[in-house]
Amino acid sequence: MKKINTIPEPDKHGRGLICFIILVFAGTNTGKNLAAQALYQLQYPFSTSQYGGAEFHILVHHELSRLENRYIPSRIFNSEDTWAKTGNILYRLLRMSTCDFYLAYLPVVNQHEYFGHLARAKQLHAGFTRHEIYFFPPTGGKAYYGDHKYKTLTDAERISEYIGGMEASIIMAGTIRRNLLREELMSFQDAMLYLGSNTDFNTYVLFEDNGSADDVTQYLTVLNQLAQGKKIIDRRALILPSIFSILLDPVTIHSVSNLVEQYLIGGNTSFDTPPMFSFSSIGLLPYYSFEPGAYGPRHCLNSYIRNERDLYYICFHKGAFNFKKDLGIQVALYGCSLVSKTLNFDLDLRYWRGGSFEYHNDAGSVQNSKLHGALLSSKLYFHPTRKDDTIRDLFFSSGISIKTQGYTKGYPLSGGLSFSFGIGYSA
């Protein structure tokens, strides 16, 4: 699911393309332990939010996958002889490489382009916008945007636009990973979507070093310019940590293994999520990731912790190579109950120490961000009940975030207060 993303010179004559699909589900209670966990939703703000884009794509992908599994069989031969088994494997391979490939490929490209680069450009007051999606890899899409309100971006703002697509893919992969751990079940389509979004940055590093002005090349160019002409990072230095980022992610390895063993060979359309390290009633899933950031590439040590009711996430990041001053921690809690299962909430706390860089405020003046930054974000979910007091799968959400100036994944560079609203279903 590789694609090439470029940000060409501003196109002032392009026509805007925005596709809204409104889906509202009020399904029946599945009886599962996690039925009240908020999983699939539409979220506002939409076009300027990488998180909103991730929720949108995962919702649509989930419903299309359910329809596909309902109406398209996983085997066409019922016999258990060798020829029938071989025919079924070839049939599933054809299905994976055609309709299922595009079911995963198109959301990843659109998340990268529209909810990545263009969302960042809109946050920075870009002019007329459009994007294109190409159906045949390796070229996946391009993002175009006109002049910014402030005309000349600072280096930090340019970096945030260059990495916006890869950042949006990482956010979508994180949302998929979190949902899988809460449901404790993944379909083969989930595995394909996760692989496409989670390896976006890594595959850019490993396979797009062809001299073109791809996202990583533009990103490194600006980082090196900040060193006043002294080259402080080479693209080849990104290769090894990118490989480790793939190999040291249990969900990636589990997805690849089960796509082959469970789906292609066995014909099972769903399988269990990766096993967690177990300590009494506590489960632990650690993994390593290598990601781009506005202060430079960074190493991330991540871990999900799950007890019988709640899911926690902890991430420590440290700048790689010559960007070691970039440090940060994120602690998040998902699905904590307030009133039985009717009300629950998510909480996200972040602290980072990056570096002072310039950005435009809403008045158009250039400001320096602080050396230290923080984010507090919380989202409340309300699940209506039936007459018999059972919890409906339908839910409504409202969120509030407050952050200081500076870079943190998925949010504008400027500080301040922001709100979100959503509607969705749990299973």
CB 7 within 8 A of CB 161: yes
Residue 4's pLDDT band, with cuts at 50, 70 and 90, is very low
- How far is it, in rounded angstroms, from Cα 280 to Cα 55? 33
**For the chain, percent of residues with pLDDT exceeding 90:** 59
The CA-based angle 33-37-43, given to 5 degrees, is 160
- Which pLDDT does position 136 carry in this prediction? 81
Note if the bond before 138 is cis, omega within 30 degrees: yes
Q: Check the CA dihedral 147-150-155-157 and report its sign.
A: negative
- Which pLDDT does position 211 carry in this prediction? 64
337 vs 107: which has the higher pLDDT: 107
- Which pLDDT does position 27 carry in this prediction? 31
- Which pLDDT does position 127 carry in this prediction? 83
Average pLDDT, the chain: 86
- Which pLDDT does position 143 carry in this prediction? 87
The string of pLDDT tens digits covering residues 61-94 is: 999 999 999 999 999 998 889 999 999 999 999 9
Task: Give domain status of residue 149, yes or no.
Answer: yes
Q: How far apart are the first and last CA of the chain?
A: 27
Give 285's strand partners: 304
**Residue 176: partners with Cβ closer than 8 Å, 6 or more residues away:** 58, 190, 193, 194, 197, 198
- Which pLDDT does position 1 carry in this prediction? 45
Task: Give domain status of residue 293, yes or no.
Answer: no
What DSSP string runs through 38-60?
--EEEEES-TT-HHHHHHHHHHH
Identify the domain containing residue 91 by its residue range.
5-276+380-425
* Arithmetic mean of pLDDT, 372-398: 89
- How far is it, in rounded angstroms, from Cα 238 to Cα 222? 16
- Which pLDDT does position 93 carry in this prediction? 96
Taking Cα atoms as reference points, which of 164, 61, 60, 57 lies closest to residue 113? 164
Question: Dihedral angle at the C-alpha atoms of 153, 375, 332, 34, nearest 10 degrees?
Answer: -80
Task: Give domain status of residue 72, yes or no.
Answer: yes
Burial of residue 25, with CB atoms counted within 10 A of its CB: 0-12 exposed, 13-18 middle, 19 or more buried: middle
Number of structural domains the chain divides into: 1
**Residue 191: partners with Cβ closer than 8 Å, 6 or more residues away:** 255, 256, 258, 259, 263
**Residue 83: partners with Cβ closer than 8 Å, 6 or more residues away:** 77
Rg (C-alpha) for the chain, rounded Å, is 22
Phi-psi region of 335 (alpha: psi -120 to 50; beta: other; left: phi over 0): left
Helix (H, G, I), strand (E, B) or coil at 95: helix
Task: Give domain status of residue 373, yes or no.
Answer: no
Task: Give domain status of residue 43, yes or no.
Answer: yes
Least confident of 45-49, 106-110, 294-298: 45-49
- Which pLDDT does position 245 carry in this prediction? 96
- Which pLDDT does position 366 carry in this prediction? 87
pLDDT at 284 over 80: yes
Task: Give domain status of residue 395, yes or no.
Answer: yes
Burial of residue 12, with CB atoms counted within 10 A of its CB: 0-12 exposed, 13-18 middle, 19 or more buried: exposed
- Which pLDDT does position 36 carry in this prediction? 56
**For the chain, percent of residues with pLDDT exceeding 70:** 89
Residue 427's pLDDT band, with cuts at 50, 70 and 90, is low
- Which pLDDT does position 322 carry in this prediction? 84
Task: Give domain status of residue 14, yes or no.
Answer: yes
Q: Which of 4-8, 179-183, 423-427 has the highest mean pLDDT?
A: 179-183
- Which pLDDT does position 269 carry in this prediction? 94
- Which pLDDT does position 137 carry in this prediction? 77
- How far is it, in rounded angstroms, from Cα 193 to Cα 106? 10
pLDDT at 332 over 50: yes
- How far is it, in rounded angstroms, from Cα 373 to Cα 409? 12
Task: Give domain status of residue 235, yes or no.
Answer: yes
Could you count the other beta carbons within 10 Å of the beta carbon of residue 185? 13
User: What is the bridge-based pairing of β-strands 141-145 and 5-6?
Assistant: parallel
The string of pLDDT tens digits covering residues 200-232 is: 999 989 987 766 678 999 999 999 888 765 668
- Which pLDDT does position 228 carry in this prediction? 65
pLDDT at 243 over 60: yes
Could you count the other beta carbons within 10 Å of the beta carbon of residue 103? 18
Longest dimension (CA), the chain: 73
- Which pLDDT does position 188 carry in this prediction? 96
- How far is it, in rounded angstroms, from Cα 291 to Cα 304? 18
138 vs 111: which has the higher pLDDT: 111
Could you count the other beta carbons within 10 Å of the beta carbon of residue 57? 24
The string of pLDDT tens digits covering residues 134-190 is: 888 777 888 888 889 888 899 989 999 999 999 999 999 999 999 999 888 999 999
Least confident of 1-15, 22-36, 258-272: 22-36
- How far is it, in rounded angstroms, from Cα 285 to Cα 3? 29
Amino acid at 294: A
Helix (H, G, I), strand (E, B) or coil at 205: helix
Taking Cα atoms as reference points, which of 74, 99, 270 lies closest to residue 188? 270
Q: Which helix (H) or strand (E) holds 230?
A: none
